[in-house]
Structure 1
Amino acid sequence: MNSSMISAMVSMNALQQQLDVIAGNLANVDTAGYKRREASFEDVLTQVQQHHKDFDRTGRSTPLGYTQGFGMRLSSVVHNMEQGLMKETGNPLDLMIEGEAMFAVQADGVIAYTREGGFHVAPNLDVPGNVILVNSQGQPVLDVNNQPISIPNEGKVAIASNGDVIVETSQGRGVAATLKFVELERPEGLVPVGENLFVIGNGLTEADVFDLTLPGPGQPPKSTVISGFVEQSNVNMTDELTRMMEVQRAYQLASRALSNSDTMMNLANTMRG
């Protein structure tokens, strides 16, 4: 197998992975809080191949040798955490974060983080007569003490911009809990686990990934909660479709290069015979 066939085959594999990333983005264009994935590529191997000495002519302005590559490979896939557009729902339990913070939920016994704020209530099996705040997958939303937020079933609920869960009942009105939303500082420390959720990578702590410092006296918070809105996906369908067309054309060219290389090898074998 010659180098042209290797380069075309390796590039086709990388381009297929890029198409898979784009397809995933397009599938989640209407998923609230979804963060689009972006793929990065690198050369597999690049080397300088020397020309024959007969190419060294008098007056030649360039040195002997030419660069020979062997295709590209997928080096990393990262999530673009850019904020999506606002969508008004009118539901006081639908929340959106204005800023770079993330909500915390309890998922399979661990703390996970998400930008999706389409919350609702579910029965609290541990406290009869109370309900807990959950996300769209039924996972409990956590407060600043990493505990599920439990509120009386008959209470009217409102969420303040600082995350305070205000409950009004026949006994009065008060703050039942405060939502936990932490400022994202190092996105590379998060690992996606599906369902729009991220967990902290192995060996890291919450302080390594999030900025846990509180604003000083008189300083505005870095992020605020907006009730009655949800954050839409930050996937731009036009950009993704354009990118898909570019990748498909590149895949076709690599496929044609592989086919032409195979044809040339067959011709060389026939002439040799």
Structure 2
Amino acid sequence: MKAILSTFLDYKQADIETQIDLFKKLKLTHYMLRRIGGKAIYEMPLDKLDLIYPQFEKIRVLAVDPLLPSFHMDQMDGLDPYNQLLEETVTRVKKFNASYYVYTIPVFDETVNDYNHIVEVITEHIKIIRKYKLKILIKFSDKHTPKMYRYILDELKHKHVEIIFDYTYLYKINEAEVTAYRILRDYIGMLIMEDIDKTGAGRVIGSGEHIPVARIAKRFIKKSFDGYIVLDSSLVELLGTANGQGWFSKLVSKKTKHELKIYNDFIERYTSADTYRVLLVQMAVLSLMFLNKKIALG
């Protein structure tokens, strides 16, 4: 089975109608849900969610990242309230008929010698999520290292728990992606695709010339990775704001000048910088990379 491609759709604080329209225009088969109108799922009013759930009756939701903050291990008095909030959040995710719940492990100091208590807390969280028949994707967070994730996954030994491989996260915490891949490859269920240049500005996949995106993709292709490839592009937000900067900022700010150049280069090549166009271009790159299939840009 080949990998399945998708993308987040919640850019520019998009409402649910805008996101579903993008989902259909991009001809996606699996929906990635994170924010609605700029709000995280766990903090949205229930009455608003009740109006949204019916819109997903005929949409296959791959995963929901509710953006629930991680539990802090140095605040054990708050574990019961946190677990209650987690369960309430899981019930929200379940109503979207999602396959996966995106989970972040607790915040803790990795220099401690005894991880048993940490694994116990994570196991408790996994049980809460699994009670609702959701599979789990663990997301990199809070500067935790690949070795720590491998240790936890080995301890859990759970067939319904996988990890999301995010190489831009690894870059930001100075962890070698090739080493991280070797450590985690047996547990990877999803690959997040993104590209940035040396300033951290978002770029079209494969054009940042700073992170070896093509080499990373090749590693997954050679392994015949049959999980999920998901675009999470900071370029969409950059292009949406770069041309709207004030004249003074455009004149004196190196960051703004750099982002404006990225904007102008994109417009020159692809004619438009609206969200659909930016996503279509990059989904076309991913389709060619992973499926050897061309997508017409029109």
Q: TM class, shorter-chain normalised? A: under 0.3
**Comparing both structures, which one devotes a greater share of its residues to helix?**
2
Bigger RCO of structures 1 and 2 (CA < 8 A, at least 6 apart): 1
TM-score (norm 2): 0.19
**Comparing both structures, which one devotes a greater share of its residues to strand?**
1
